[in-house]
Amino acid sequence: MKIRILLSASLFLMLFSVKGLAQDKNCDVKQLQAETYDFALKNLDSIKKYVKSSEITVAFEMTETGVVKNIDYYLAYGAKEQKKVKVWKGLEAFVKETFSRCPESHFYNGREQVVKADFAIPLVKEDIAKAKKNLEGSDGYTAPGTGLTDVPKNSKYTIEVKSLTVGKKTNEALVKDGTLDYDRSKMIRLSEIFHIAFDVVKPDGSKTTYVKYKLYERVDNKGRIITSEQWRPVVNGKVNLSVKGIRDTHPGVQHIKVGEEFDFDILVTFKK
């Protein structure tokens, strides 16, 4: 999946260590950002031994399946005096492990999928605290562990398509009810050309329940994946699939436009 998104330099995206296998997977950028501020604050002395500046910027790229391609660290990023620097190995390892935690998936920032980013890391205690406080007060932030909800097998659900556009094709808003087949929705028909299917999963040792979904378009009489995702957490019994990006490509399929944009807002609510 090719995504065009460059995060604000104020963002710092992090995940829990790969070694913490009992910890939940979480690809929500804002939660990862808050964890990163905690990590930087806890290890500030070690980081400052390598970087004396009050701020450092990390720039990285990921493959379409969430694998880190390369990561670089800079002082004065974007300025004439920009300089690439080496950092404490603990920080470097934390970044690499973090962004390798969601295989065959992607990270998202609000509603935009992320494969390329640069972000600033404050290296002053007061600045880190201020950055985290501002983040926690921002729209869309959900603290880790908030609203955890189990979804029983064969649960009923309602899916609400608020908007759905792929290129010039638009789906009408609609609401449909359904029942899981154990932990799967089967294929849900949204229109003549659009369908969606999802699974509900709760990994061993995880406190969080997730939805894995695939959004399809009928092209050349076959269902072609527009986009898919592995780790959307269920919060307060709901999953808000609000995503904007560039659709998957399918080599050899003539009627799929390369680089075609999609934009959708779909809410799934599970009923007790």
The pLDDT confidence band at residue 4, using thresholds 50, 70 and 90, is very low
Task: Report if residue 9 sits inside a domain.
Answer: no
226, pLDDT greater than 60: yes
The pLDDT confidence band at residue 272, using thresholds 50, 70 and 90, is confident
Domain boundary among 107, 136, 165: 136
Find the range with the poorest average confidence among 46-50, 88-92, 106-110, 231-235.
Answer: 106-110
181 with 83, same domain? no
Task: Check residues 124 and 112 and name the one with the higher pLDDT.
Answer: 124
For the chain, how far is it from start to end, CA to CA, in angstroms? 35
- 3-class SS of residue 127: helix
Mean pLDDT of the chain: 84
User: Where do the H-state alpha helices sit in 113-258?
Assistant: 125-136
66, pLDDT greater than 50: yes
222, pLDDT greater than 50: yes
What DSSP letter does each residue of 84-113 carry, written as one string?
Answer: EE---HHHHHHHHHHTTSSTTS-EEETTEE
128 with 167, same domain? no
13, pLDDT greater than 50: no
**Torsion sign, CA atoms 125, 130, 135, 137:** positive
Averaged pLDDT, 155-161: 98
Task: Report if residue 10 sits inside a domain.
Answer: no
User: What total of structural domains would you count in the chain?
Assistant: 2
192 with 121, same domain? no
217 with 255, same domain? yes
12, pLDDT greater than 70: no
Task: Report if residue 16 sits inside a domain.
Answer: no
Averaged pLDDT, 114-140: 86
Taking alpha carbons only, the member of 122, 77, 107 closest to residue 13 is 107
Give me 140's structure tokens.
């869309």
Averaged pLDDT, 226-230: 89
Domain boundary among 81, 108, 136: 136
Q: Are 219 and 226 in contact (CB under 8 A)?
A: no
The pLDDT confidence band at residue 2, using thresholds 50, 70 and 90, is very low
266 with 199, same domain? yes
Task: Report if residue 194 sits inside a domain.
Answer: yes
122 with 190, same domain? no
- Cα distance between residue 259 and residue 262, in whole Å: 10
200: Cβ contacts below 8 Å, ≥ 6 apart: 151, 155, 180, 183, 184, 209, 210, 211, 234, 270
111 with 166, same domain? no
The pLDDT confidence band at residue 14, using thresholds 50, 70 and 90, is very low
Distance of CA 241 to the CA centre of its chain: 11
The pLDDT confidence band at residue 18, using thresholds 50, 70 and 90, is very low
Which tens digits make up the pLDDT trace of 128-145?
999 899 888 887 777 878
Q: Are 139 and 60 in contact (CB under 8 A)?
A: no
220 with 250, same domain? yes
Domain boundary among 86, 101, 136: 136
Q: Which residues of 165-196 are buried (b: 16+ CB within 10 A; e: fewer)?
A: ebeeeebeeeeeeeebeebebeebebeeebbb
What DSSP letter does each residue of 24-51 carry, written as one string?
Answer: PP--BHHHHHHHHHHHHHHTHHHHHTT-
| Residue 49, domain extent | 29-136
From its phi and psi, is residue 48 left (phi > 0), alpha (psi between -120 and 50) or beta? alpha
Find the range with the poorest average confidence among 41-55, 56-70, 156-170, 209-223.
Answer: 56-70
From its phi and psi, is residue 100 left (phi > 0), alpha (psi between -120 and 50) or beta? alpha
49, pLDDT greater than 70: yes
72 with 165, same domain? no
132 with 185, same domain? no
Task: Report if residue 36 sits inside a domain.
Answer: yes
Task: Report if residue 126 sits inside a domain.
Answer: yes
37 with 78, same domain? yes
167 with 244, same domain? yes
Task: Report if residue 79 sits inside a domain.
Answer: yes
Which tens digits make up the pLDDT trace of 183-218?
999 999 999 999 999 999 998 888 889 999 999 999
Task: Check residues 6 and 100 and name the one with the higher pLDDT.
Answer: 100
59, pLDDT greater than 90: no
Task: Report if residue 210 sits inside a domain.
Answer: yes
